[in-house]
Amino acid sequence: MKLRECFLHAVALVRADDDAREAWAAMNRKNAPWAAVFDGERLVGLLDREDLAAVRAPEVFVTAGELAAVEKAARRAIRLSPDDKREEALARLELAGADAAFVEGRGRPPGVLVRGRGKPLWPALY
């Protein structure tokens, strides 16, 4: 089964030099549980709401890129094609010690594959 046939989480795309609170706002605008942080074309990391929880205080100033460079978020800097096989993609996540990876949007919006949740869209068919 290919990743395009799996359920993927919504993702907001932000730049590494954006304020981390902007990443939080972008996630809320899209109702997305993830933010993919890019420095140009390079994926720096994936942030979830837990990663951003500390920066909601007004006195904290940090960029999305600084947050995405920490160990947990940086391990998620894996780019997958929607044509990759699900089992191979999950094996890549396992080897990297990551709990999630970015799936590029070709023919569909980009998304995030979460390990343990890469289930088929139509389970009765598989």
CA distance 6 to 2: 7
Distance in angstroms (rounded) separating the CA atoms of residues 57 and 42: 28
- Looking at the chain, the whole-number percentage of residues with pLDDT higher than 90 is 37
Note the pLDDT tens digit of each residue in 77-109.
899 999 999 999 999 988 888 889 999 987 778
Q: Element (H or E) spanning 13, and its range?
A: strand 11-15
Residue 46: its H or E element: strand 42-48
CATH of the domain at 119: 3.10.580.10
Domain of residue 28, residue span? 3-125
Q: Which residues, in sequence order, are bridge partners of residue 39?
A: 42
Number of separate domains in the chain: 1
pLDDT tens-digit readout, 10-38: 999 999 999 888 999 999 999 999 999 99
- Cα 101 to Cα 59, 120, 125: the distances in Å are 31, 16, 25
